[in-house]
Amino acid sequence: MQIKQIYDFLNELSPFSLQEEWDNSGLLVGDFDLDVNSIYLSLDIDSDLIENIEENSLIITHHPLIFKGIKKIDYSSYPTNLIYKMIQKNISLISMHTNFDKTHLNKYVASDILGYDVISSDEFVCYFRANSSLEEICMNVKKNLKIEHLRVTIAKKYIKDCAITTGSGGDLISKIDADCFLSGDFKYHQALEARENGLSLVDINHFESERFFGECLSGYLKNFPLKVIMSNSKNPFEYK
């Protein structure tokens, strides 16, 4: 199957034109005319993933491997070390980042993973009805995202409406119209701002909240005439 056919399908599912200006989604490594034997789905790319996939494959990731301009090709450092290995194995790469956040991933985690009824979705923020205590929300997050300990900012203990942005959503705090905001990578002063403005926060971590990218996308690829394999990069953080 040609990469162009796969790209066109993905573009219809979640248009690449929706990505933010700073983003770099789309075909990052490869050629539209290339034929691939299999597709691997992953949040990111790392050395272990490349070592263990078949040659002549396509990787579809959430996070782009290439964000900024590459000024030199250094085989010993990230990300060009990975690009070099990919070229050796004829591995292509398509990334679906902020466009897929807006169209699918936030709603999928809210409804299919956490089990809430989605009220609305506005760009990067998905709203759902909670009608429960903050403690109950935390227990649900721990169970379904498999997070043992949560960082929480308590402004309200009973939550009617809740918002979620998978990945890193701290910069959106001032725009959230809800009792509680679930996202990752919250900073200290963002937590202070939220508490003073009556917004509870639950830090659902970056990797843990976005690792469902492959699971979400795979359902749309099940009728493809080639093998689709759900893989994943490793979380760069370890918890002691």
Q: Say what the pTM is.
A: 0.94
Q: Which domains does the chain have, with CATH numbers?
A: 3-98+212-230 (3.40.1390.30), 100-207 (3.40.1390.30)
DSSP 111: I
Q: What is the model's pLDDT at position 220? A: 96
Q: What is the model's pLDDT at position 229? A: 93
Q: What is the model's pLDDT at position 208? A: 97
Please give the biggest Cα pair distance in the chain. Answer: 55
Q: What is the model's pLDDT at position 41? A: 97
Amino acid at 157: K
As given in the structure block, the two tokens for residue 135 are 């403690």
Q: What is the model's pLDDT at position 76? A: 87
Q: C-alpha distances in angstroms, 179 versus 105, 112, 124, 160?
A: 21, 21, 17, 6
In angstroms, the CA 193 to CA 172 distance is 11
Q: Round to the nearest angstrom and report the end-to-end CA distance of the chain.
A: 44
Mean pLDDT of successive 10-residue stretches along the chain, which has 240 residues:
96 98 96 95 95 95 91 87 94 98 98 97 95 98 96 97 97 96 97 97 97 96 90 87
